[in-house]
Structure 1
Amino acid sequence: MRILHVVTHPEATHHADGLVGGWFDSDLTGRGLVHAGRIADALAARLPADAAVEVFSSDLLRARRTAEVVGKQLGVGVLLDADLREKSYGEAGGRPQAWLDERFIPPPAAGERMRHDEGVPGAETKWELAVRAYAALDRILRSAVAHQVVVTHGGTATFLLAAWIGMPIDAAGQVGFRFSPGGVTVLREDDYFHNRAIVQLNDLGHLA
């Protein structure tokens, strides 16, 4: 059996300051750092004491700090992967959210949604984000380690789940899962049928 714990990093400074995240390299807030510790404690309690574990993370600071706290608690290093980054918002990254809201062009209800131009110079399309996320999950799943933790971002996590259930990337234009800062999502693949399940979505109980 393979079990993945997908962690969305907890509160970061861009959340607190009302700024656009994306590739803007914000850090965890003090509250976010406390929550990272609670995430680490929760994962340590869930994982078998003698299990081999791998921790993968986006290389952006807010995710990397979260992963380092988790890795320290579990006694393992962190494997950084830039493909686990959040969607790039181009020129909007680090600017006030209102700046992006004034310029953002939402995707159409039908038709081309994955390659849709959102109207912000330098921003990635959903297609570019999905290609990265699918590739990152493929590399993670090449490992024979049965227990893995993946620290990433809310937008990226949606496409990790789409890839996990085998959704063709061309069909992922309308998929959307709601993730909160500090949430933990549990994915499981059984050894017999090799079916993949989303066992728990965006669990926040450890932050209460």
Structure 2
Amino acid sequence: MWKIILVQHCQSEHHINEMTGGWTDTPLTSLGREQANLVGEKMIGLINSEEEYVLYSSDLLRASQTAEIIAGHLNLEVNLDQGLREINTGIAAGKTKAWAKEHRNPKSKQGFELNYREFEKGESWGEFYTRVSNCLTRLYQSEEGKNIIIVTHGGTLGYIVAWWLKFEPEMLSNAYFASSPGGVTVLSQNNYGQQEINRFNDTSHL
């Protein structure tokens, strides 16, 4: 039974200094490092020592640093993949939330717009979902037979869950899977071949 364990990166500097997320590349805070150690300890109890696991992470600092700490607990190597990054925020990367509020593109209507590109040179939500889906399909094919641990970002994690549940892009307007820093999500398949969410955004270890 194939399994994916998802971890949202732990507290990052952008969480406490009013910076944007997305492709803003900030490291973990001291609290974030403590959280990552707690995640690593929890993961020891989640994985089956008789099964094979590989560990992938977004290459942005807040995710890769979380992954390195977890990897130390599990004796795994970290494989970095740009496809696991948060949504590309274009010109807003490295900027403050106040700056982003003044420079985001106007929307044509209220609510979710699949083709809305929030910032110049950034991704639309549809492009983001396509990128995440293609990345997960590639990992699934290249790591066939292995369970995968993925350290990523909140938006990316939500879209991985949507990919797992076989959402068509237009279905994204109906649901959003919100998670928290250091939260752990477990996805698997049952004997009927159905996609399961066994655990979502578990933060009991923090």
Q: TM-score, normalization: structure 2?
A: 0.92
The answer for the alignment partner of 1:140 in structure 2 is 139
Q: Give the conservation status (yes or no) of the 8 Å contact 2:117–2:125.
A: no
The CA RMSD measured in Å over matched residues stands at 1.7
Distance 1:198 1:146 in 2: 18
Query: How many angstroms does 1:90 deviate by?
Result: 1.3
Task: Give the 4+ runs in structure 1 shifted more than 6 A.
Answer: none
Distance 1:102 1:67 in 2: 34
Q: Give the conservation status (yes or no) of the 8 Å contact 2:54–2:148.
A: yes
Q: Give the conservation status (yes or no) of the 8 Å contact 2:54–2:149.
A: yes
Query: How many angstroms does 1:106 deviate by?
Result: 5.2
Q: Are 2:186 and 1:182 aligned?
A: no
Within 5 Å, which residues of 2 pair with 1:50-69? 50-69=50-69
The answer for the alignment partner of 1:75 in structure 2 is 75
Q: Give the conservation status (yes or no) of the 8 Å contact 1:55–1:76.
A: yes
Query: How many angstroms does 1:175 deviate by?
Result: 2.7
Q: Give the conservation status (yes or no) of the 8 Å contact 1:54–1:145.
A: no
Q: Give the conservation status (yes or no) of the 8 Å contact 1:60–1:85.
A: yes
The answer for the alignment partner of 1:158 in structure 2 is 158
The answer for the alignment partner of 2:196 in structure 1 is 197
Letter in 1 for 2:153: H
Tell me, which stretches of 5 or more residues in structure 2 are unaligned? Answer: none
Query: How many angstroms does 1:88 deviate by?
Result: 1.4
The answer for the alignment partner of 2:128 in structure 1 is 129
Distance 2:129 2:68 in 1: 25
Over 3 Å counting, the alpha-carbon distance change for 1:106 and 1:201 in structure 2 is farther
Query: How many angstroms does 1:174 deviate by?
Result: 3.9
Q: Give the conservation status (yes or no) of the 8 Å contact 1:42–1:206.
A: yes
Aligned to 1:5, what secondary structure does the other structure show? strand
Tell me, which stretches of 5 or more residues in structure 1 are unaligned? Answer: none
